[in-house]
Structure 1
Amino acid sequence: MSLFSALFSGVTGMNSQSTAMAIISDNITNVQTVGYKTSSSAFQTLVTNAGRSDAYSAGGVRVKPIANIDEQGLLQASTSATDIGINGQGFFPVAPTATSNDRLFTRAGEFKLDADGYLKNTAGYNLLGLQLSQGLTDAQINALSVPEVANLTPVRISNFTGTAQATTTADLNANLPANAVNGDTYTTTIQVFDQKGLANNMQLTFTKTATANEWTIDIGNPTLASDGTANGTITPNTGTATFAATGAPSALPDFSALAIDWDNSTTDSTVDLDIGTVGDTDGLTNYGESFSVSAYTQDGYKSGNFTGMAIGTDGVVSAQFDNGQTQKIYRVPIVAFQNANGLSSETGNVFRETVASGNALENWAGTGRSGNVSPNSLEQSTTDLATEFADMIVTQRAYSASGKIITTSDEMLEEIIRLKR
């Protein structure tokens, strides 16, 4: 009887609209969830066969939730160096804990350092990446192969310290007064670092000789900058410089291989001290009436403590130290999928690989199918409240209409029952 099929059709309508309302409610409640991807409802006809050409049996409707995981959300600027978004396709690889072998994927890039130095997002998932060896150049980092997701490790910052570097090169720019007479002496102190990162002072003494435009240069042995304690010997430690009438040097001593024998049981150093070029004014000069040092630079530095971090568009995580140095310590890949909408959604705004999604495609950021990392930004929810509220009104009306089918069919059946009376 068609009336019974109408009743069941109304039931399918109410059930389907209930599912649609549940999807809408999830979208609305996650309007402020970082990296949230909306779902939508796809309605399909449900057809039943009446068995006769002159009869009709109502089937109804069914609904299928559609995940819009591949939809790009708005990237909003953030003041936190650990907040990152993705501009384009792909996901950040994450793990539930630092020791878990489970691999999940997320667009929620609101990461923070926990008490153990791990980068975790607000749902508690650990960001994963490839730990970089110290001293790699940019070219070497770019040449590294992308590991499989299973071989990535949790990004941990606090177990890094800035290493010290001994001075290997130094540059001095100074002017020796042109009106100096025999025996006039001027001094300046330069600083160099040993391989332990200890600062050492060395005094340079410039003495005018009896020969016109000629000066001797003496380099004192290094002493600790902290307390003046003797800390080694340097060779060669003397030389002679002469100047032309133009004030530029006509001859300079060779200090390109100063050997420092340190007393503090550290490895000996060789320092290239550049005091200028013959015929040029890029180092020592012989002008005017005053002695002055205009510049001194050197490439050594002390060891450093972690002070902050930065993440580049290429996914490279750099640690910053209080000695002014930066060290590249991890690189985070961006994992894409052939069908991102086929991923399985799980609690915590994360997704799991499925047969429908295809296998994970690991790439460095900006290569292959993977988008770029957007530093200091967060991807906002893709929920559009105006659209959701409009859909809610339609869903509510459709639900009420489906209920009206049931009540009307019930009244018609009641009329049939009254015929017997």
Structure 2
Amino acid sequence: MSLSSAINSAVSALNAQSSALAMVSNNLANTSTIGYKTTSASFSSVLAGSMSSGSGAAGGVTVSSVANVSGQGLLETSSVSTNMAISGSGFFAVSGATDDNTAYYTRNGEFSVDSDGYLTNNGYYLLGWATDADGNITGSATANGLKPVDVDSISTIAAPTTTMSMIANLPADAATNATFTSSVELYDSLGTAATSEVTWTKTGENTWTASFADPTLASDPTQTVGTVTSDPITITFNADGTLASTDPASPTLTIGSWTTGAASSSVALDLGTAGAASGLSQYSAGTDTLTVDLEAKQDGVAMGTLTGVEIADDGTVSGVYDNGMTRSIFKIPVATFTNADGLSAMSNGIYQATSESGGATLRISGTNGAGTIYGSQLELSTADTNEEFAKMMAAQQAYSGAAQIVSTAKSMFDTLLSAVR
């Protein structure tokens, strides 16, 4: 084994430990980077020749980087509703532009809404599947169905009245053919507020009818905006004042010919439970002036505008509106890989699929081995300061030892040259 071989081996050690220190430095620099995954040094020995009879040529060492992409960082609560994190395996799918079909992947969930309404992070657009109001994916739940998540795609929303519960006491001491009126508020499919007058008529002992007038505009009672097409409802009470039955058994208020251009309405009416006084009842009022005070609750709402975004644990992106409604807009998939550590790393915490990683498989959050998406949370860097400092000291010691080998070999060369002289 020659002095030259010793120097070559030591030089390879200097190069390897320098690379290892660079990896440690990069890890320490990214201890606060959201979703950052550490890189570790992997050393391999190199033999310059065979060793026999107690002699041989010194080799050296090489180093390669090992990406710990599949490592899990701690989750931290965020005050930003559009921030999200994945607990478990998988990545968010992103694209470099709204019209870019190339998918990239990241664990950095620090997304925010840009000026155009898209969820973006460091210039990359979050990809998801569009959904209907019930959260069902409307297109293909594949890579071809992915599109940039645009929270402004449904910036306004309204809901028609489809159900209405009615609570009132119809005075038992009213005379036959006596009539009373009250009103109910309802909304058409365009969110237009309207009012319909209900006429209660006592037709006999323990028997009443309820008829609805054509709805008028809530802001202008003189303007009729629709036509009631359903028949009056017959209501029968028991001798104890509780509701006995209604005809039809499942009463419905139907309205057509909305002048607003809205679709025809069908409102299921809940008048109470037979044998109970939970809805309509008939008891003596005991006063000279008889009235019907109606309490009606319905599920329609006027038009509302988008005020915020919420992200559920199943990856559903919902819009929050100022009329109190919340509607599903997109579903965010989790992209998993056979070998996530084989992904190619890019700047800004972005990864690209390679032949080593395999192609992405898109899954619903928390299903089939995919990690779970958590809204208003962020995944912290996997870099541990204590661990990185330990690696740094080990690299420093190894580097110093290799440098000492070079220094010693130089001294030995100097001694040899002196002997020649």
TM-score when normalising by structure 2 = 0.89
Structure-2 change in CA distance of 1:7 and 1:242 (3 Å): closer
1:215 and 1:146 map into 2 onto residues whose CA distance is 54
Partner of 1:283: 279
- Asked if 1 retains the 8 angstrom alpha-carbon contact of 2:237 and 2:243, the reply is yes
Partner of 1:188: 182
Deviation of the 1:292 alpha carbon: 6.4
Structure-2 change in CA distance of 1:173 and 1:342 (3 Å): same
374-383 vs 291-300, which moves further: 291-300
Structure-2 change in CA distance of 1:54 and 1:103 (3 Å): same
47-56 vs 319-328, which moves further: 47-56
For the pair 1:14 / 2:14, whether they are aligned, the reply is yes
2:233 and 2:335 map into 1 onto residues whose CA distance is 61
Deviation of the 1:165 alpha carbon: 3.6
Structure-2 change in CA distance of 1:250 and 1:345 (3 Å): closer
Partner of 2:114: 114
Deviation of the 1:164 alpha carbon: 3.2
Structure-2 change in CA distance of 1:130 and 1:404 (3 Å): same
Partner of 2:146: 152
Q: How does 1:57-96 map to 2 (within 5 A)?
A: 57-96=57-96
- Asked if 2 retains the 8 angstrom alpha-carbon contact of 1:162 and 1:327, the reply is no
1:109 and 1:95 map into 2 onto residues whose CA distance is 14
Q: How does 1:11-410 map to 2 (within 5 A)?
A: 11-49=11-49, 53-121=53-121, 123-132=122-131, 134-135=132-133, 137=134, 140-141=136-137, 146-148=141-143, 151-180=145-174, 186-207=180-201, 211-228=204-221, 229-236=223-230, 238=232, 241-250=235-244, 252-254=246-248, 255-287=251-283, 289=285, 293=293, 295-410=295-410
2:61 and 2:296 map into 1 onto residues whose CA distance is 81
SS in structure 1 of the partner of residue 153 of structure 2: coil
Deviation of the 1:273 alpha carbon: 2.9
Could you list the per-position Cα deviations for residues 182-225 of structure 1 after superposition, in whole angstroms to 9, with x for gaps in the alignment?
A: 6866443211112322110112233556x544545443331111
Give the RMSD, CA atoms, in angstroms: 2.6
2:319 and 2:269 map into 1 onto residues whose CA distance is 30
SS in structure 2 of the partner of residue 64 of structure 1: strand
1:247 and 1:221 map into 2 onto residues whose CA distance is 30
Aligned AA (1:128): L
Could you list the per-position Cα deviations for residues 137-187 of structure 1 after superposition, in whole angstroms to 9, with x for gaps in the alignment?
A: 45x54x986312x55211111121344343333221111234445686644
- Asked if 1 retains the 8 angstrom alpha-carbon contact of 2:180 and 2:292, the reply is no
SS in structure 2 of the partner of residue 330 of structure 1: strand
Deviation of the 1:376 alpha carbon: 1.6
Aligned length: 414
Structure-2 change in CA distance of 1:311 and 1:52 (3 Å): same
Structure-2 change in CA distance of 1:387 and 1:219 (3 Å): same
2:225 and 2:268 map into 1 onto residues whose CA distance is 19
Identity %: 38
SS in structure 1 of the partner of residue 151 of structure 2: coil
2:67 and 2:141 map into 1 onto residues whose CA distance is 28
SS in structure 1 of the partner of residue 220 of structure 2: coil
104-113 vs 306-315, which moves further: 306-315
Aligned AA (1:198): T
SS in structure 2 of the partner of residue 304 of structure 1: strand
Point out where structure 1 has 5 or more consecutive residues left out of the alignment.
none
407-416 vs 253-262, which moves further: 253-262
Aligned AA (2:129): L
Aligned AA (2:169): N
Could you list the per-position Cα deviations for residues 368-397 of structure 1 after superposition, in whole angstroms to 9, with x for gaps in the alignment?
A: 332111222111100110111111111112
1:170 and 1:23 map into 2 onto residues whose CA distance is 66
Could you list the per-position Cα deviations for residues 263-286 of structure 1 after superposition, in whole angstroms to 9, with x for gaps in the alignment?
A: 344444333333235443232101
Deviation of the 1:226 alpha carbon: 1.5
2:76 and 2:376 map into 1 onto residues whose CA distance is 9
Deviation of the 1:357 alpha carbon: 1.2
SS in structure 1 of the partner of residue 302 of structure 2: coil
SS in structure 1 of the partner of residue 415 of structure 2: helix
2:364 and 2:36 map into 1 onto residues whose CA distance is 23
- Asked if 2 retains the 8 angstrom alpha-carbon contact of 1:10 and 1:402, the reply is yes
TM-score when normalising by structure 1 = 0.89
SS in structure 1 of the partner of residue 70 of structure 2: coil
Point out where structure 2 has 5 or more consecutive residues left out of the alignment.
none
